[in-house]
Structure 1
Amino acid sequence: MKVKNLQTKVIDENQNKRRRVVFDYNGILYDLACTDPNFDTINNGQKAHNNILCISLGELFDATGCHHKIVAGIF
């Protein structure tokens, strides 16, 4: 899906780096985890992107009974 205002960020919590993607889609602001293997090169500006994302559903999270959305690919 094509998104607007795509930003990548790394959150470092207690030596645990979390890769996040923030974007706007249909007027809604999202902040999702990212598992794209090219995330670091995109985040460092070494690889360009076209604001196109592949969104995936993670495994069932037992505490809430919900599936979480994940950015699986940035294109």
Structure 2
Amino acid sequence: MLTEVLGWPLAEAKERLEAQGWQITVRSTLAPRAEDRGEARVVRVKVTGPQQAELTVVYVPHRPCPLCEEESES
């Protein structure tokens, strides 16, 4: 059975599924003018064959938390 990995960071999802015997391929999807930088997160999982799955990822930019900055200034 395929573990639910939607929303997981790519490295963690891939590691977990490969440990369970799944062969993983990775695809990325980008919005227009977007860059493949930041943290890759799994947004789709597709079983492509026996013990084979394709993970689609998007890249979430690393942005500082405005609230965290305010707290550190206090």
TM-score bin, normalised by smaller chain: 0.3 to 0.5
Q: What TM-score, normalized to structure 2? A: 0.36
Determine which structure has more spread, i.e. the larger CA radius of gyration.
Answer: 2
Bigger strand fraction: 1
TM-score normalised by structure 1 residue count:
0.35
Higher helix fraction: Structure 1 or Structure 2?
2
